[in-house]
Amino acid sequence: MSLNQAVVRIGARVGVNSDTLRGWVKQAAIDAGQRPGTTTSDAAKIKQLEQEVRELKRANEILLAASSFFARELDPRLPW
């Protein structure tokens, strides 16, 4: 029995779309190191790091605005 036949047959039995089941099988093979690709744990780490980058960029924007504001307060010759 081929993978395609198996996912169609099993998917129908358990009420899961065959494409969804095929994706799960593919991801399991990647996680097991049997197939190239991004593992589930790597994807989670990437997502976490991307969130950290967004937070750090936002913090940098706030700090830049604050330093610009205080520089103008200290030196009235600077333009607003």
Same domain, 45 and 78: yes
pLDDT (0 to 100) of residue 1: 82
Same domain, 29 and 46: no
Give the range of the structural domain holding residue 79, as residue numbers without chain letter: 38-80
pLDDT (0 to 100) of residue 73: 77
Q: Cα-flanking dihedrals φ and ψ of residue 46, to 5°?
A: -60, -45
Q: Furthest-apart CA pair in the chain: how many Å? A: 80
Q: What is the CA radius of gyration of the chain?
A: 25
Same domain, 30 and 43: no
From first to last of the 80 residues of the chain, give the pLDDT tens digit: 898 999 999 999 999 999 999 999 999 999 999 999 999 999 999 999 999 999 999 999 999 999 988 887 777 776 66
- pTM recorded for the entire structure: 0.69
Task: Quickly list DSSP for the chain.
Answer: --HHHHHHHHHHHHT--HHHHHHHHHHHHHHTTSS-S--HHHHHHHHHHHHHHHHHHHHHHHHHHHHHHHHHHH-TTS--
pLDDT (0 to 100) of residue 45: 98
Same domain, 24 and 46: no
